[in-house]
Amino acid sequence: MLGRALVRVGETIEAIRIIRYALEHLPAGPIAVRVPRKVPVGEYFSRYEAPRGEAILYLRGNGTEKPDRVKVRAPTLANLVSIRHTLLNQQLADIPIIVAAIDPCLSCTDRVVLLQQVGAREGEILHWAEFRRISLRQHVLAKKL
């Protein structure tokens, strides 16, 4: 486990060096661009190396402001699979450093909300307005407790 901790410290030091180099060699000019409002017709797939691994983005545009489909797979989602195997036969005290070694971003994997609406039929879709109404009601009830 000491090895994992030393790797993390080394990565942090190297990240600081990279940031300093990038700032010293940043070209002059604007740093923001205007993004078009309409998504062109077609399918777009992109992969890039993020701090926690490979991020994958998929978009299917229909020429309007709202694309047909948007899919983002965060690196943490793929990295979480390794935790089960890595934790086998380890000491309880080693769990934090083992989990920290993959640098999980749990909010990146929190993408699904399942609700069972009273009186709803199997497979019925809960529309956003109804979901929001239920959420606000639950928030008010929680505040009263």
Q: What is the pLDDT of residue 17?
A: 97
Q: What is the pLDDT of residue 114?
A: 55
Q: Report the candidate in 129, 104, 134, 132 with the shortest Cα–Cα distance to residue 118.
A: 134
- How far apart CA 2 and CA 97 sit, in angstroms, is 9
Residue 104 contacts residue 76 (beta carbons within 8 Å): yes
Q: What is the pLDDT of residue 145?
A: 66
- How far apart CA 10 and CA 17 sit, in angstroms, is 11
Q: What is the pLDDT of residue 138?
A: 78
**pLDDT tens readout for residues 39-86:** 889 999 999 888 788 889 899 989 888 888 888 888 887 777 788 788
Sorted by where each begins, the domain ranges of the chain are 37-110, 113-145
- How far apart CA 11 and CA 7 sit, in angstroms, is 6
| Amino acid at the residue 67 | P
Burial 94-116 (b: 16+ CB within 10 A, else e): eeeebeebbebbeebbeeeeeee
